[in-house]
A and B are shown apart, each in its own frame.
Chain A
């Protein structure tokens, strides 16, 4: 801390870094601003707020599960909490925070002035807070929130509500439809930007992997989100207008909803995961001073994952009376997806292999994410195998696997991205010590929370229950302890980011000595990103020999930090 302070005290002309007036014009974050960099910060801050709310729900759930009987909250509230936890974390944290990162990075990485349709971009953002508030508002309804889980399977979701109009399930549906429309706008924007707005010389096979992965993810949004939006609209009609689409007692077909839901909601897992794979592919080369191993095969694997992910949805429905030929077919495709995913995992390993590793916070998070994804992927293949899945379906094993994906891989990866591009966003450096503390607490907490769910599931503990058999208590206590540790782990992150945004020492434009167009412009980037349209002449990740340091010798602060 003292080193940081001395550097900061020499920093007398702090007002001058406002080429684009980021820090000084804080109020612009509350306006309908069309600059993609402002919208990115709006997305990140809003989604992080929802992340804290969703995390609070999770800690109440973990608190309930410390003891076998249902004693902390009443069961209705418990059902509402796990429903809202899932919905908030998926639709209000992971998706929008990745949209935020993509918003900031995509135009910079491809050398564009802004996103293709700035007005649409701002409109898409401003649909997101109302949708979130609508979802939260359902806590204040007399009948409480939606309680059917984040899948909202009928007939459970359509039976439960007490009032045909004012019920939590209706609020849930409206919120999801609103977010769906917003996401489609975003997808149109990203796909058009990447396909049409690349700088001269930025051919497809010169795009960084992050751009490839966002392109794949947003194509998935474009083609598959309509299925969820359509399904939820029909659910809404069943709920409030008296139609019978999914009403089994009146001839409807509840399994049809499951198909419509998972037809989007499995590919969506790759909408979250692919950008994070992209983040890992950006961070690992920069801190191991090696080019990304097998760039082209990784790019092709990214598209491959997106394509195969469209054909696996029914593996969520092995126990829904699915015919045997479908089970076999979907088991095959589900396991097949491990191949392109394995390509990525091998590429990361080969990238850091024999590199000169610089263990800065972004690298730790990226490596942690990649390592824990291995575990998530292996349990995923286990679940993809139908004979195994039939036994652990709807148990904590599934919950454990899923959280290894969404927290230990995706959320950890997002933290890594925030640390990595924080200097670019703010023009200032975060505090390394607090960052490492955050990583340590996250890594320990995440594994303590989600690993115990695997043995619990194998022993047969069902998910979404408030009370359980006392024989499961031991693992549950560990998981709850880990859950609270995860809650604590966020605190150094918040402190670090707020403090560094205001008082962190200023850094050069490229503190990591990374390649990539975003590092060639100033930090924070000016209004239209680049003074002149850049002309790209090289493939990405052209890092030199492994012994090159990440330290920018012209950057006093970074040098001191590394030679402390």
Chain B
């Protein structure tokens, strides 16, 4: 701030632009943000996930508000969504896939490419297992979209979450294909880190969905 010129009192020969001697000191660029590709991508991804989690938050708030206030939340003869062992197995599989993807990322950081691919593929398989379990749950469900105030929120929120799981698996597949490109990770692997972040996000959201529909009886 040594050159800070705060007041109009200081005489100047002509209006100065903000730039000083351009590029006279190449050292000053070093370590500055603009070179930090990884930091930029992770910052962008985090902001996106913040925003995306708020869409879920909007749904969760809407559901909770309806549950508290609606006179027709659970019409007579209708029960809350089925909660059986298959739901628990699905949940355990999805949540532990977060750990597997963490191991995959660590394998990549240690340049064990084949181990990375194996663990990465395992994560996708666990995601796919969760999805198939979810679809079976929907088919078994007696609730309909139009059932009171429980049917709509249940299918819309779990469906929106399942959509995110699907997108996560697609992104993982793209990253898996890319891992076969030679020298793909010479400049770092923040694409993989972003997909991994997304996957943790999807898992975290499921915890809330699970709590709202299965634990909140």
Interface residues of A (CB under 8 A from B): 112, 116-117, 184, 187-189, 191-192, 195-201, 206, 222-227, 229-231, 233-234, 237-238, 241-245, 250-253, 256, 260, 289-291, 510, 513-517, 519-520, 531-540, 542-546, 548
> How near does chain A come to B67, taking the closest CB pair, in angstroms?
11
Cβ–Cβ < 8 Å partners of B3 in chain A: 537-538
Cβ–Cβ < 8 Å partners of B20 in chain A: 201, 535-538
- B18: which of A191, A237, A238, A540 is its contact (CB, 8 Å)? A540
Cβ–Cβ < 8 Å partners of A242 in chain B: 145-146
> How near does chain A come to B43, taking the closest CB pair, in angstroms?
5
**Is the Cβ of B34 less than 8 Å from the Cβ of A517?**
no
Cβ–Cβ < 8 Å partners of A184 in chain B: 48, 51-52
* Chain B interface residue bracket vs A: 35 or more
**Is the Cβ of B18 less than 8 Å from the Cβ of A543?**
no
**Is the Cβ of A195 less than 8 Å from the Cβ of B43?**
yes
> How near does chain B come to A219, taking the closest CB pair, in angstroms?
9
Cβ–Cβ < 8 Å partners of A253 in chain B: 65-66, 69-70
With an 8 A cutoff between CB atoms, is B149 at the interface?
yes
Cβ–Cβ < 8 Å partners of B58 in chain A: 226-227, 229-231, 260
Cβ–Cβ < 8 Å partners of A535 in chain B: 19-25, 28-29
Max count, chain A CB within 10 A of own CB: residue among B14, B36, B58, B153? B58
Using an 8 Å CB-CB cutoff, how does the interface string of B59-78 with A read, 1 for contact, 0 for none? 10010011001111100000
Within 8 A of A (CB), among B15-39: 15-25, 28-29, 32-34, 36, 39
Max count, chain B CB within 10 A of own CB: residue among A196, A206, A223? A196
How many angstroms from the CA of A231 to the CA of B48 in the assembled complex? 19
> How near does chain B come to A162, taking the closest CB pair, in angstroms?
20
Contacts A222-B47, A253-B69, A538-B3 given; indicate if A241 touches B145 (C-beta within 8 A). Answer: yes
Cβ–Cβ < 8 Å partners of B153 in chain A: 243, 245
How many angstroms from the CA of A229 to the CA of B55 in the assembled complex? 7
> How near does chain A come to B52, taking the closest CB pair, in angstroms?
7
With an 8 A cutoff between CB atoms, is B7 at the interface?
yes
- B70: which of A252, A289, A539, A544 is its contact (CB, 8 Å)? A252
Cβ–Cβ < 8 Å partners of A252 in chain B: 66, 70, 149
Interface residues of B (CB under 8 A from A): 1, 3-8, 10-25, 28-29, 32-34, 36, 39-40, 43-44, 47-48, 50-52, 54-55, 57-59, 62, 65-66, 69-73, 145-146, 148-149, 151-153, 155-156
> How near does chain A come to B185, taking the closest CB pair, in angstroms?
20
**Is the Cβ of A226 less than 8 Å from the Cβ of B51?**
yes
> Can you list 5 A-B pairs with a CB-CB distance of less than 8 A?
A116-B40, A229-B55, A237-B152, A256-B62, A290-B8
How many angstroms from the CA of A143 to the CA of B27 in the assembled complex? 66
Cβ–Cβ < 8 Å partners of B145 in chain A: 237, 241-243
Q: Which residue from chain A places its CB closest to the CB of B70 in the assembled complex?
A: A251
- A237: which of B29, B148, B156 is its contact (CB, 8 Å)? B156
How many angstroms from the CA of A538 to the CA of B2 in the assembled complex? 9
Q: Which residue from chain B places its CB closest to the CB of A185 in the assembled complex?
A: B48
**Is the Cβ of A244 less than 8 Å from the Cβ of B148?**
yes
**Is the Cβ of B32 less than 8 Å from the Cβ of A230?**
no
Contacts A225-B51, A251-B148 given; indicate if A534 touches B40 (C-beta within 8 A). Answer: no
Cβ–Cβ < 8 Å partners of B18 in chain A: 206, 515-517, 520, 534, 536-540, 542
How many angstroms from the CA of A238 to the CA of B152 in the assembled complex? 9
How many angstroms from the CA of A514 to the CA of B34 in the assembled complex? 25
**Is the Cβ of B12 less than 8 Å from the Cβ of A112?**
no
Contacts A535-B19, A546-B8 given; indicate if A192 touches B47 (C-beta within 8 A). Answer: yes
> How near does chain B come to A527, taking the closest CB pair, in angstroms?
17
> How near does chain A come to B7, taking the closest CB pair, in angstroms?
7
Contacts A515-B18, A538-B4 given; indicate if A533 touches B151 (C-beta within 8 A). Answer: no
How many angstroms from the CA of A233 to the CA of B18 in the assembled complex? 46
- A116: which of B28, B44, B54, B149 is its contact (CB, 8 Å)? B44
**Is the Cβ of A536 less than 8 Å from the Cβ of B19?**
yes
**Is the Cβ of B17 less than 8 Å from the Cβ of A543?**
no
**Is the Cβ of B4 less than 8 Å from the Cβ of A539?**
yes
- A200: which of B29, B71, B73 is its contact (CB, 8 Å)? B29
**Is the Cβ of A251 less than 8 Å from the Cβ of B72?**
yes
A191-B47, A538-B17 given; 12 more Cβ-contact pairs under 8 Å: A195-B43, A201-B20, A229-B58, A242-B146, A253-B65, A253-B66, A515-B17, A538-B5, A539-B6, A542-B12, A543-B8, A544-B15
How many angstroms from the CA of A250 to the CA of B34 in the assembled complex? 54
**Is the Cβ of B47 less than 8 Å from the Cβ of A187?**
yes
Cβ–Cβ < 8 Å partners of B39 in chain A: 196
How many angstroms from the CA of A251 to the CA of B73 in the assembled complex? 7
Contacts A226-B55, A291-B7 given; indicate if A234 touches B156 (C-beta within 8 A). Answer: yes
How many angstroms from the CA of A326 to the CA of B134 in the assembled complex? 40
> How near does chain A come to B8, taking the closest CB pair, in angstroms?
6
Cβ–Cβ < 8 Å partners of B22 in chain A: 520, 531-532, 534-535
Q: Which residue from chain A places its CB closest to the CB of B71 in the assembled complex?
A: A251
Cβ–Cβ < 8 Å partners of A538 in chain B: 3-5, 16-20
> How near does chain A come to B64, taking the closest CB pair, in angstroms?
11
> How near does chain B come to A10, taking the closest CB pair, in angstroms?
26
**Is the Cβ of B8 less than 8 Å from the Cβ of A200?**
no
**Is the Cβ of B40 less than 8 Å from the Cβ of A196?**
yes
How many angstroms from the CA of A112 to the CA of B18 in the assembled complex? 14
Cβ–Cβ < 8 Å partners of A230 in chain B: 54-55, 58-59, 62
Q: Which residue from chain B places its CB closest to the CB of A250 in the assembled complex?
A: B72
**Is the Cβ of B15 less than 8 Å from the Cβ of A201?**
no
Cβ–Cβ < 8 Å partners of A117 in chain B: 44
> How near does chain A come to B159, taking the closest CB pair, in angstroms?
10
**Is the Cβ of B23 less than 8 Å from the Cβ of A532?**
yes
How many angstroms from the CA of A544 to the CA of B10 in the assembled complex? 7
Cβ–Cβ < 8 Å partners of B4 in chain A: 538-539
**Is the Cβ of A533 less than 8 Å from the Cβ of B23?**
yes
**Is the Cβ of B66 less than 8 Å from the Cβ of A537?**
no
Max count, chain A CB within 10 A of own CB: residue among B19, B40, B73? B19
How many angstroms from the CA of A227 to the CA of B55 in the assembled complex? 6
> How near does chain A come to B80, taking the closest CB pair, in angstroms?
16
Cβ–Cβ < 8 Å partners of B11 in chain A: 544-545
Cβ–Cβ < 8 Å partners of A196 in chain B: 33-34, 36, 39-40, 43
**Is the Cβ of B34 less than 8 Å from the Cβ of A243?**
no
Q: Which residue from chain B places its CB closest to the CB of A202 in the assembled complex?
A: B18
Cβ–Cβ < 8 Å partners of A544 in chain B: 8, 10-16
How many angstroms from the CA of A364 to the CA of B19 in the assembled complex? 28
**Is the Cβ of B16 less than 8 Å from the Cβ of A542?**
yes
Contacts A517-B19, A534-B19 given; indicate if A244 touches B152 (C-beta within 8 A). Answer: yes
**Is the Cβ of A188 less than 8 Å from the Cβ of B47?**
yes
How many angstroms from the CA of A260 to the CA of B13 in the assembled complex? 55
Contacts A197-B40, A251-B149, A291-B7 given; indicate if A227 touches B17 (C-beta within 8 A). Answer: no
